[in-house]
Every structure is written in structure tokens, then in C-alpha cells.
Structure 1
Amino acid sequence: MKEHKVVVAGCGGMSNEWLDYAAKRDNVEIVGLVDIFEESAQSMAKKRGLDVPTFTDLSVAIEETGANLVFDVTIPSSHKQIVTTALKAGCNVFGEKPMAESMKDAREIIKLTEQTGKRYSVMQNRRYLKQIRALHDVLKTGAIGTIGSIHANFFLGPHFGGFREEMDNVLILDMAIHTFDQARFITGADPVSVYCHEYNPPGSWYKGNASAICIFEMNDGSVFSYNGSWCAQGLGTSWESEWRVTGSEGSAKWDGFHTPIVEVVDEEQSSSFIHAFKALDVPERWEGQSGHFGCLDEMFDALEHGRRAETDCTDNIKSIAMVLGAVESARTHKKVFL
């Protein structure tokens, strides 16, 4: 018998990565598919060649299949209901971001994991790239000294169509959580406060604000600035953003595509108006899988070894706080303490 018997919730809009991953893992068995529209679950079963029952009710699916793990790939507004139903039924949960739509809901979910002893881990696939791991590792060594600031620029112009173009805070709610979570991962620091200015520039095809500037104060005394737009035509950045980290002894840059670069003060050279610097090698030692597969590897390894995953809900709530705090700041035009 497979160790992990999985029910997938939300087949209608799920990405292929979740089922592709499950198919390649020896100790995982998909035992049921759930969707509010059962024909979507049936269509997915047929498409993937899965001989499994389909359901419209998660509780019934768990009971009838004996599942012990739920993949939550539903829309964000359904996450709390799916996660709490699964936890109460004795299942662990791996889910797509965001973990919740409010801090109240996020805290209630964490409380329920504590009460049930079950795990809820959230997909933050953009942590799982060899370049961002290399940047994290070199900063952790103290190579550039004490970090004073971290800056992310994100400028792309995707024409999604559909619900995103009707959202009120589309950039912050739908995309910026990736960048905010990356900032926490890169530096190891957590947010204390945020001031956010949202706007919708000329030529935007979005109904709501598709651009934003955010300033976060972090708990190590550093500052994280975010400057982003989802309606920037031309000269696009990487989807991973482009990064600069400044420290007391040097700086690091990552364009989101290539190996990060680092320059530090060259102590062997005499002092001058602008000091001499030297480049450091930034080794890419991480050998894990990229993206969704890397995050799922971490989730399963944590579950099987009885530890919290890197993106466990107790950690991910800090990234959600950045998102919801930024939205609140933009609404009130005030600094928000997190």
C-alpha cells in the first residue's frame, strides 16, 4: 500500500505539476478527485488516465477513499474551507498559495493544525531555484557583512484576460506574495511594518491597481523595498524579479535569470574616495528539483521525518501578513504594523 493516499481538491483549474509529481513518486497514490463541478474532476481523471472515484464533497471523498493527504489546488476563496475540512478529517494538507484570504482565517488554520497535530504546507515554488538558493547561501555566510537593505524590481506586462484583469489589488494579491516570500527567504528576516502605494498607470488593461511600491521594515533592522508592475510594456524583468542586497561590507545582485554576483570591499587595497572592490564566487551547490517539484520534495521530506516544512503554514503566515498589510496600507494611506 502507498504511504500517502491523496485526494486532490480543485481539479478544474489545477496546474499539471501536482499530478505530474505524484505520478513520479513511488509512495504516493491518487485515490480520489474532488471539484465543485464533478464533470471537471471526471475530465481530469480521464485526461490523466486515473481510475479513481470523483466527488463534489471533500469529506465524503476522504471517508470513502481512506485518504491521509489532501492536495488543495482550489481557488483562494476556498482554501480555508478545504484545509479545515481536511485537517478535521485527519489529513495533512499541501496547498497552493495563498494559505488564506485574511489574517483571521490564517490564524484559525494554524490553531487547528495545533489541535489536530496535522501539517499544512503552502506552495512557494519560487524559493526552489538554484540561483536563489545560491544567493541565500552566500548571504548567510556574512560575505557582504550586515544586511542593511534588500530591493526587488518586478516589471512585466502579461495579458491574462479573465478574473485577474477585474481584481482590485491584482499585483499585490496574485503575484507579489512570491516576491515577498522570496525576500524573507533570501535574508532570513521577517516583516515588522509596511507602507504601500498602489496605482494604475496610463495604458493599463487592468480594472484595479496593477502597480505598487512597498517599503517594509524587517525585524533585523533592514529595509525591503518592492517596486513592481504587471502592466509594464517592454524591458521586462524576470518573473523572479531583479534583486539588489546591500550590506556593511559589500553588495549582491541577482537578475532573476543567471548566477548572482557579489562584490565586497577589498581590504588589501588602500582606502580611497570610493573603495576598491573584489568579486566573490557564488557557487550553485543546490541540487534539488526546481519549482513545484522542489517545494513538493521539501513538503514530503518534512512530513516523512516529522518536522515542519520550510513553507509550513506557521512560517507562511508571515508572507501572507506582508500581502494583506500592503493592501491595508494602500487602502488607508498609512503605515501598517504587522
Structure 2
Amino acid sequence: MTIVRLGYVAMSMELKNASPSKTMTFSQFQKIDDRDAALRKLEKISLENLHNTLRLLKHNAASDIHFYRLTSRLIPLANHEELLDWDYMKPLKEMLVEIGNYAKKHKIRIDFHPDHFVLINSPKEHIFKNSIRTLKLHYLLLKGMGIDAAHRCVMHVGGNYDETEKSLERFVDNWMDVPRAIQKMIMLENDDTSFTLEETLYLCEKLDIPLVFDYHHHLAHHHNENWQDHWDRVLNTWRNSPLPIKMHISSPKSEKEFRHHSDYVDMSMFFDFLKEIKGSTPQIDCMIEAKMKDEALFKLMEEIKQRKDVEVIDGSSFHLI
């Protein structure tokens, strides 16, 4: 039997005043005459984001949710070129340790998904360097939490730049300049416009990177590829990972807006996938990318409980039987 665990992204629709992504723009920062006071304000916002992250983890533990994506916006302006002298980790140390200890105690798998401007295959050196700086921030946050950073950061391949093969090879070339600790942190996912499952697998197999299969993206962009033909290859990319295989699940907003995520998950679409992979892996962790966040997870689980081909384990997990 295969165990399926569901997770959600960053925000809760149930917890009030619990945003982990509160921010400050650089223009707001500049309006504070005293630079030290401005930095203290940034630290206060960052600590509030971390405090709300801990609240979200407690909400997850109470709801039997074992998989959660941290927001990449925990520390506003952390990598701004005018603030590179700011030691943002020092004032956050205690809170990060508390978050990491809680996640480990309650066995909650946590990871990140940096924003789309993180481009390892960019032909522009300054974009590549900024991308590495952003990835280093994610690494330092995980290290500060005491979490093994291996395969905790999922990314897209990057820009296509109207030349797929060259863009893939540029990723390989630039990968050689990525620090080893950050390389170990990375997972890659197929996207909905630029790089298909097979193209992403090329990189994952060549560079020993786990592939996070996004089923919705595949349906939107596949060049007539049959994903089932590649599933064993996807599984094999996880052979050296300490974590269970991971995938993304979402549903189209509409036929017209097929690439956009819906508020909730279409259960029949999800089980079209699960029926194909049942028994191929002992466990699969499925990150729900739906507008209604944890509410989408709760709704999906209520629908799943009515099925005859599952055995419910708890509030977010079930066996395929």
C-alpha cells in the first residue's frame, strides 16, 4: 500500500492575523531617518513572521498535518543590495531554533519554494548571483532551524529564452558554480510553459537532483508526453534522498484559464494520478497548491473519507488500497 500525505502552502485560512509574510518596502525603509532604527523595524517584522510561522506549525500539529511549505518572505529586504551588511540571522536565532525543534518534535516536513526570479540558468551574471544569494538565505534559515537542508527547496528550471536546449545546457554550466551545500538543497519541478517533465528529467538525471512532479503543470504543458512512461525515472531521482518522494497537486481554475490554480482540488483529477502510481512507492507527500490553502486540504480530506478505495490514517493522510 502507498501512504499519501497532504500539505499546504504558507498561509492558513483558519488562523486569524497569522501572516508569515508581512513586509516592508525599501522606499518605506528609506523614509526612516535613523538607519539602525529602520533595521530594528525590519527585525521586528521578521520576528513577527517567525512567530506566526510557529503558530501555523502548531495549527498543523493540531490538525494532523505533517507537510508544510514555509513562505520565502520571512525576512523582508534580506538580500537587498543596500542592506548586504545587515546581519539578519543574529536577532532571529532563538526563534528559528524554536521553530525547528517544534517541526522535528511533531515530525512536520517543511520546505521552501523560492520566487520565480531565482534563475540558475540565467544568461545574466548579476541575476545568477542574486539567485545564489537568495538560495543562501533559504539555506541559512534551515540551518538556523537545525533542519537538514537536503532537498528542502523546490525550484523551476528557469527561463526558456526561446531556446530550450541551450537553456538546459546553461543550467548545467551554471550549476557547476553553485555551492555544494546549496546544490544538495535543490529539487526541480516541471513547469506549465517552458520545461516539460521529460526536459526537467534530463537535468535531474544528469545532475542527481530529485524531481517534484507537478501533475497540473504536466497537463498544461507536455508535448504529447505520457507521464506514466517516465514515472519510474521520476522515482529514481529520489533514490539518494532522505525524504519521501514529493509532488504538487492543483486543479485548473477553468478550461479557459487552465494554467491558473483553482480555489480547491478536484478530487477526481487527483485520483486519476494516484490510481496510476499506487504501489510504486511506499509514501508520497503531495503539496496542495490551491488558493484556499489549508481549507482546500480539509475539504479534500472530507471528500476522500467517502471513498471506498482508501483507508484514512488521520486528518491529512491515507492509504491507497
* TM-score, normalized by the shorter chain, greater than 0.5: no
| Bigger relative contact order, structure 1 or 2 (CA pairs below 8 A, ≥6 apart) | 2
Question: TM (normalized to structure 2)?
Answer: 0.30
Bigger strand share: 1
Higher Cα radius of gyration: 1
Question: TM (normalized to structure 1)?
Answer: 0.29
